[in-house]
Structure 1
Amino acid sequence: MNQIVDYELFEVPPRWLFLRVETADGTVGWGEPVVEGRSHTVRAAVEELMDDYLLGEPANSIEDHWQTMYRGGFYRGGPVLMSAIAGIDQALWDIKGKSLGAPVYELLGGAARDSIRVYQWIGGDRPSEVAEEATQKVDAGFSALKMNATEELERVDTPATVDDAVDRLRNVREAVGDDIDIGVDFHGRATKPMAKRLAKALEPYDPMFIEEPVLPEHNDALPDIAAHTTIPIATGERMYSRWDFKQIFENGAVDVIQPDLSHAGGITEVKKIASMAEAYDVALAPHCPLGPIALASCIQIDACTPNALIQEQSLNIHYNETSDVLDYLEDPSVFEYEDGHVSIPDAPGLGIDIDEEYVREQSQKTVDWHNPVWRHEDGSVAEW
């Protein structure tokens, strides 16, 4: 019986937390449990779960471990606990795949595709001149892009603010043409009235989807927003379990779900969420502005999920100013993008080899990333 005997946590630049889990026979699995800007809090949750439930237990009982971590506590769910569970779950699947000599997707039913399409971020938190950057990404081979729609928004903002958002999307569309998909991320910055106005105004430029048009606590507004537009609606990065997704499947307003493999309970839970989505004719596009372990976990799910649409990835994203996705891999070629796609890996476990020496070196650096706090002109807090 291959027992879990040790674990280590590494906080590394730019804003990631890596988990290393080791078993009695020396097999090592890696996970990425983090809430961006709350890494210390998640670290404590991982330590609590590992110490209370997993050390000394057999590594292969992944479903039972998931149920124990989730249901063993009277208070459940939420970003911190589900992200802690997610990173542990990723590491356990990595161990299982390595122990059996198979990629994780083979253990989940086998590949449903040879590759998955990826999209590339353009612009930053405050989108401005994005058309030139869009052209550069298309020239580099990407066939899909994503950009933020706006800066901070008032609850009911001016026509000029809407016009600015339209101008940015129009400029990108005119620069790259109609063969390129453009996702537009509202980032939860819009209230319901602004989401309706923006969706109507952006519609002539055919976004691939509008993402998180309202905050998830206002998901009950999505049917009303959907009634005002033909643009596909995407959401889910701040939803953490199949129970969180139940309402949006039942109300039929969402076309693309975006659970995060490092926030929504890991591989075990996101595979279940994806299967639920398939029953409602909803596509999967996992959220992943994170590191290589999170991305590898996403690709394992994409590989064996028939309704997977496209994969977010964070190479050169505006957050990654000090370190990037490929820096932590012994073989960065596993994430080579060709014609806007990444191939499904065939190596055991998560399909990547983490450069442990580099992780240990980087973990000595001070990491203190927090998202900015934006304010309106009157001094009140705005959504970032």
Structure 2
Amino acid sequence: MKITGVKVIVTCPGRNFVTLKIETDEGLYGIGDATLNGREKAVVAYLADHVVPCLIGRDPHRIEDIWQYLAKGAYWRRGPVTMAAIAAVDTALWDIKAKTAGLPLYQLLGGKSRAGVMVYGHANGKDIEETVDAVGQYLELGYKAVRAQSGVPGLDTAYGIARGDLYYEPATKGLPEEQVWSTEKYLDFAPKLFDALREKHGFDFHLLHDVHHRLTPIEAARLGKSLEPHRLFWIEDPTPAENQDGLKLIRQHTVTPIAVGEVFNSIHDCRGLIENQLIDYIRATVVHAGGITQLRKIAALAELYQVRTGCHGATDLSPVCMGAALHFDLWVPNFGIQEYMRHTEETDAVFPHAYSFADGFLHPGETPGHGVDIDEELAAKYPYDPAYLPVARLQDGTMWSW
């Protein structure tokens, strides 16, 4: 079998997605997600100009060799653009290999380690009352785990507050939106939110919360300690992880579990955090961490230190990435949880998929491959539409982490 053609497909059924389609001389093809939210065209250029020409004529079954060729063969390594491109190739090749075998992808990884993949949804509201109600709606849908975010009194905008039902899309058309942030207001407010949630809904489900890199290490330690009575499943990205020693400080002051890694691009970004047991969950993704091949290695390292997976699964990842992630989740022995943000009807139509939700769990399905396809004709009806993630400033105008 040889690779005979490679397409880079850009579509915007409500938001932008980049998809790689690898075709073979035996009629089989595979697809991979290459979306990098707000920098999509950079990955398109990297793929079209620098990766696609190198793939033609290669044996698609040599997945590891091709991964090493694209990663080690490039002098300028790693980074979000490079690794998203490699991930798209890797995912598409795994799709082809599983289709050739006539098996769902999880079977090639080693088979099931569980019956289904526990997922968490995103509940949010403009205030505590709305968020409490939204969590209740997710529990009625059968979710076993819910992430809760709320508007903060005194701030016009807050991270995680949806513009639509059951999904949250932070990117906005045009230039980046500038939002105002106050750490003091947030730290005073967050414990009150979880007081209300546990009082209303009890403890018979998992609660999660995303800090989104907004705090210094000592501020994050204060938050984690204040939330201990509410037994959160995790606090996510409590502080920017570039300063990995900062996680030591948080760890010294709180037993609230810590999850980081959705912006990580390789095993090197998380190696120290895992080996020093500074985190409890690694949130690296198929598309942003170099594909299934690299994610398996990250998970294997994490397993040695009792760190579990909790892959990012927002709507800035296409259903292609979600499908591949679910096969990984069903297999990986040290699975923790999978984020699940529902895509719009338009997106689901462009990317028909085999995965399904029931009683708080997703299952990837039994279709050969990763179970997600792309309707190219329909995709072409949704042209690229530039959009950016917001930026954040403190109330005095200082730039801050968004």
TM-score, reference length from structure 2: 0.87
Per the alignment, in what secondary structure is the counterpart of residue 123 of structure 1? strand
* Mean CA deviation greater in 52-61 or 268-277: 52-61
In 1: Cα distance, 2:94 partner to 2:387 partner = 28
Partner of 2:55: 54
**2:274 maps to which of 246, 249, 260:** 249
Q: Is 2:8–2:44's contact at 8 Å kept on the other side of the alignment?
A: no
Q: How does 1:290-329 map to 2 (within 5 A)?
A: 290-315=317-342, 326-329=348-351
Partner of 2:297: 272
In 1: Cα distance, 2:293 partner to 2:104 partner = 15
**1:372 maps to which of 382, 385, 390:** 390
In 2: Cα distance, 1:351 partner to 1:68 partner = 26
In 2: Cα distance, 1:325 partner to 1:197 partner = 40
The alpha-carbon deviation at position 336 of structure 1 amounts to 2.5
What amino acid sits opposite 2:396 in the alignment? D
In 2: Cα distance, 1:298 partner to 1:327 partner = 19
**1:354 maps to which of 366, 371, 374:** 374
What is the count of residue pairs matched by the alignment?
Answer: 371
Partner of 1:342: 362
Q: Deviations along 1:78-108, whole A, 9 cap, x unmatched?
A: 1111111111111111111112211222112
Per the alignment, in what secondary structure is the counterpart of residue 57 of structure 2? coil
Per the alignment, in what secondary structure is the counterpart of residue 374 of structure 1? strand
In 2: Cα distance, 1:87 partner to 1:213 partner = 29
The alpha-carbon deviation at position 137 of structure 1 amounts to 0.8
- Superposition RMSD on alpha carbons, in Å? 2.0
> Which residues of structure 2 form unaligned runs of 5+?
153-157, 159-179
Q: Is 1:261–1:288's contact at 8 Å kept on the other side of the alignment?
A: no
Q: How does 1:1-384 map to 2 (within 5 A)?
A: 1-13=1-13, 14-123=15-124, 129-148=130-149, 151=158, 153-154=181-182, 157-158=183-184, 160-289=185-314, 290-315=317-342, 326-330=348-352, 334-362=354-382, 364=383, 366-384=384-402
Partner of 2:166: none
Distance 1:361 1:66, change over 3 A: same
* Mean CA deviation greater in 48-57 or 368-377: 48-57
Q: Is 1:315–1:324's contact at 8 Å kept on the other side of the alignment?
A: no
What amino acid sits opposite 1:287 in the alignment? H
Q: Is 2:355–2:364's contact at 8 Å kept on the other side of the alignment?
A: no
Q: Deviations along 1:2-30, whole A, 9 cap, x unmatched?
A: 32423232232313212222112221211
Q: Deviations along 1:84-139, whole A, 9 cap, x unmatched?
A: 11111111111111122112221122221221101101227x77631111111111
* Mean CA deviation greater in 183-192 or 2-11: 2-11
TM-score, reference length from structure 1: 0.91
Per the alignment, in what secondary structure is the counterpart of residue 284 of structure 2? coil
* Mean CA deviation greater in 165-174 or 60-69: 165-174
In 2: Cα distance, 1:325 partner to 1:181 partner = 28
Q: Is 1:183–1:209's contact at 8 Å kept on the other side of the alignment?
A: yes
What amino acid sits opposite 1:313 in the alignment? Y
Partner of 2:170: none
What amino acid sits opposite 2:262 in the alignment? E
Distance 1:127 1:287, change over 3 A: farther
In 2: Cα distance, 1:143 partner to 1:305 partner = 20
Q: Is 1:134–1:175's contact at 8 Å kept on the other side of the alignment?
A: no
In 2: Cα distance, 1:241 partner to 1:161 partner = 31
Distance 1:272 1:324, change over 3 A: farther
In 1: Cα distance, 2:284 partner to 2:40 partner = 19
> Which residues of structure 1 form unaligned runs of 5+?
none
In 2: Cα distance, 1:73 partner to 1:382 partner = 33
Q: Is 2:98–2:108's contact at 8 Å kept on the other side of the alignment?
A: yes
Partner of 2:171: none
Per the alignment, in what secondary structure is the counterpart of residue 11 of structure 2? strand
